[in-house]
């Protein structure tokens, strides 16, 4: 596994826990509405794609920053 900076790991973990807690804040009425018209899967899909894109971008930036730090040390 790639070594990550502790701050980056803590940030990613915080974001993940926040995303897992988000459904607790959602209103049940809205979820029932989306289920009733069959669009809940589209909403969940868009959220997942967005989150995966954000995490991929953060991972890309972390690798790029680590490479620049190595170049600066040399």
What pLDDT score does 1 carry? 41
Q: Look up residue 17 and give its two tokens.
A: 């826990």
pLDDT score of 58 more than 90: yes
Kindly indicate the confidence band of residue 69, based on its pLDDT and cuts at 50, 70 and 90. very high
> Who's near 12: CB < 8 A, 6+ residues apart?
4, 55, 58
What pLDDT score does 4 carry? 61
What pLDDT score does 36 carry? 78
What are the extents of the domains in the chain?
27-74
* Model confidence pLDDT, tens digit, residues 5-56: 777 777 777 777 777 666 655 555 666 777 778 787 888 889 999 999 999 9
């Amino acid at each position: 596994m790639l070594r990550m900076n502790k701050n980056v790991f803590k940030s990613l973990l915080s974001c993940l826990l926040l995303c897992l807690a988000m459904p607790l804040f959602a209103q049940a009425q809205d979820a029932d509405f989306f289920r009733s018209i069959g669009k809940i899967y589209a909403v969940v899909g868009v959220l997942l794609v967005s989150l995966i894109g954000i995490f991929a971008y953060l991972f890309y930036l972390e690798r790029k920053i680590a490479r620049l730090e190595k170049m600066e040390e040399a």
